A = this chain, B = another copy of it.
Amino acid sequence: MLLHPNDSIAVIFCAQRTGSDEEAYQSAAAEMSALAAQQPGYLGQDHARSADGLGITVSYWRDDASAKAWRNHPDHALIREQGRGKWYSEYSLHVARVERGYDWQK
């Protein structure tokens, strides 16, 4: 986990997995994560997923244009369709601008 600067964009994706098609999901998730990291303006991401299939991914972007470009990336759009078709039962997505941040290590 990294601390990101003020005015960066946080894309907060919260999704409930259906539980089906786990292998293809994991493969696509890894591919999307690697592809996102290659995009201009990508700053980093954090991901957690509970045993019940509720997952949260927060990706951080230098600016809103970078976040939107990733949303519109054709490979990402294609995977999103698969997500709605097979992998998720519901999700929410919030795009938010960082106003302050802190981090701490033991």
Closest to A85 in B: B106
- Do most interface residues of chain A lie in helix, strand or loop, or is the interface mixed? strand
Q: Given contacts A10-B12, A64-B99, is CB(A92)–CB(B48) below 8 Å?
A: no
Instruction: List A residues 18-66 near B (Cβ within 8 Å).
Output: 18, 46-51, 54-56, 58, 60, 64
A100 touches B106 (CB 8 A): no
Contacts of A92 in B (CB 8 A): 1-3, 46, 101-104
Q: When chains A and B are docked, how far (Å) is the Cα of A74 from the Cα of B48?
A: 28
Which residue in B49, B55, B64, B93 is a CB contact (below 8 Å) of A103? B93
Would you call B103 and A90 a contact (CB within 8 A)? Answer: yes
